[in-house]
Chains A and B, each alone.
Chain A
Amino acid sequence: MNPISFLTQMIRIAVPYLFAASGGVIAERSGIISLSLEGYMLTGAFSATLGAHYSGSAWIGVLAGMFGGLIFGLIHAVASIRYRADQVVTGIAINLLAIGVTRFFLKLAFASSSNSPRVAGFGGNINAHGFDNPLLWMGLLVAPVLAFLVYRTPFGLRVRAVGEHPAAASSLGIKTSLVQYVAVAISGILAALGGVFLALDQHQFTDQMTAGRGFIAVAAVIFGRWDPVRAALACLLFAAAETLQIQLQGNQLIPSQFIEMIPYALTIIALAGVVGRAVPPAALGKAAE
């Protein structure tokens, strides 16, 4: 196995996870459960394809994808914060809604139930191995930037305060629901960029192209104990396992299904506290009164 090709493939697999897990971290640190990452990614991928198709520009596609994620993030935010709906239920509803909406508009816009036509995108230079894609570099930078935002800025302090103890935050004059709205909106945009990367890397949208990646990101958030950098490392770890599976194909040492299980099994082990307990933000899932 060639270490360079292993590393490049691992990074390309990791980028969608890196975006989505960062989205998950910021929303959950503000106290809002994010099982909807998969839905944001799928909407992001589809809106980006629409944008790139009608404008002919990949960058307009990126903006459209971010907008799609923002809309779905705001739906989750309004349902969870304004209407105090059960956040697990809304998260799952967002995922179902995203599948339905993307399929319906795929049919409406492109008269297809499986994929869009080829659209503008990034990369394509074989020798660059995908590293000529600006979104890939953004994906690698998103975790350190988020860590700075969460730990070094007043906004980050507010997010953490609201996620740990909303009543105390509120008594200090922090508008808790405003902080949560912004955090969930950022979460929708970030996770959507993961889907945008997929669509513009492949230059098209295919039905359900995110294929459960949003749930791997959820696993990474928990395995990374709600910390931006640790979550990013978890994404790289999960991507490494996946790369190993792809590169070992043909060599039947470990069946691929067992490699698929790794992120989920590690997350359960982390939750059960066998190797250091994963403790969520204290007010996660509790709607403010």
Chain B
Amino acid sequence: MSSRFRENIEEALFPPLVALLVALICGDLLIMSYGQSPAIVYRLLLEGTWGNAYGFGQVLYKATTLIFTGLAVSLGIRAGLFNVGAESQLAAGGFLAALLGLALSPSMPGILAVFLCIIAAIIGGAIVGAIPGWLKVRFGAHEVIVTIMLNFIVLALLNYIVAAKLHVPETLHTPEIGNGGLARLESFIPAFHGSAANLTIVVALIAAALTWIYLFKSRRGYEMRAVGLQPEAAEYGGVNVGATWMRAMVLSGAIAGLGGINYVLGYKYYYEEGFAGGSGFLGIAVALVGRNHPLGVVLAALFFATLSQGGLAIHAFVPKQMVEVLQGVVILAVAMSVPEVRAALRRARKPATA
């Protein structure tokens, strides 16, 4: 039992470690191509992120959105579905939350308004997730392509609504919501002053815990993982594969949509065109590096948030675009080493068990 556990941990940990090593080497080369010293630049990167409260607050803020999109992607993968649509599900969630926030009366109790806006965000993401789920179950349309295409359609639709009906003149965003905002962390811990970190991080951690319970402790979650491993066998075992896929896409979309509140309710208090900017795609990286486990997703989200905030910290020495290269390198390296590590570990274990 415990050796099985150790094997799982090894299979989960080796690929990210390999990727980190490869990324460090690539980073060295890029830094030296710019005529700087890697040691100094890496130290700056760490000091600007985990070394001071503001930087750490920004890491937490960026990690919050990535936890949601990472959880969304990993829940899909557990059911054997690749949701590439977290980008537009996130945007739709943020949009509906802002829309409801604008409509609610400012005299409504704040806590109730927040609750309603959170529900709106969940519904927004769930609707966008449900479409590819339905098209897959009903017509067999592959969810990867449908979610990619839907990203463009949904974002264009939201852009149209904001541009035509809702925007503040001369901007790409809606007016500020009168009610339904979430408090910044700085109002509890003054050291976070100026950073965008807000209570959404608590919602994100709760979402991660609930996802874990759902996937590993509930019957529905068990069915979902069974379908993800082998749909035909699950079907034979009495699981309704279509319903499970539908459920997975709706839940995945809902989690991604919920992520929209980090920006809309926690940071700017309005919806802005393009606010999701890449978080959906990075969610794929987070799910991959986090090995589709909620705890791994939280850690991976912190890692990618550190990279992206770290880029700003080193910008005076090396262009911040360096971290974008490193993100790509990490994803490639993890994707390439997962099957490799699994095969190598299995080979290494064989003689011991034989």
Contact = CB atoms under 8 A, between A and B. Distances in A.
A141 B338 CA distance: 41
Interface string B250-269: 00000000000000000000
B89 to A, nearest CB: 16
Nearest to A78: B336
Given A103-B319, A257-B157, A264 B339 contact: no
A92 B330 CA distance: 12
B319 A272 contact: no
Contacts of A55: none
Contacts of B226: none
A100 B325 contact: yes
A90 B164 contact: no
Contact of A264 (B149, B324, B340): B149
Interface stretch (B52-60, B139-147, B237-245): B139-147
A218 interface: yes
B57 to A, nearest CB: 25
Given A271-B142, A273-B139, A273-B141, A261 B321 contact: no
Interface stretch (A80-88, A160-168, A170-178): A80-88
Interface string B138-182: 111110111011101100110110011000000000000000000
Interface string A264-284: 110110011100000010000
A99 B324 contact: yes
B328 A89 contact: no
A273 B140 CA distance: 9
A155 interface: no
A104 B152 contact: no
Given A264-B150, A273-B141, A85 B327 contact: no
Interface residues of A, number: 46
Interface string B310-324: 000000000101111
Contacts of A257: 156-157, 159-160, 163
B284 interface: yes
Contacts of B212: none
Contact of A100 (B33, B150, B321): B321
Interface residues of B, number: 47
B288 A89 contact: yes
Main secondary structure of the interface of A (DSSP, over half): helix
Contact of A271 (B145, B156, B327): B145
A94 B336 CA distance: 13
A88 B82 contact: yes
B319 A260 contact: no
A190 to B, nearest CB: 20
A264 B319 contact: no
Closest 5 CB pairs of A and B: A97-B328, A100-B324, A100-B325, A257-B160, A103-B321
28 contacts: A33-B144, A75-B332, A83-B340, A92-B331, A93-B328, A93-B335, A94-B328, A94-B332, A97-B325, A97-B329, A100-B324, A100-B325, A100-B326, A101-B325, A101-B328, A104-B321, A104-B325, A107-B319, A212-B152, A215-B152, A255-B160, A257-B160, A258-B156, A261-B157, A267-B145, A268-B146, A268-B153, A271-B139
Given A79-B336, A93-B331, 9 more contacts: A95-B281, A104-B325, A108-B319, A258-B156, A258-B160, A261-B157, A271-B141, A272-B141, A280-B142
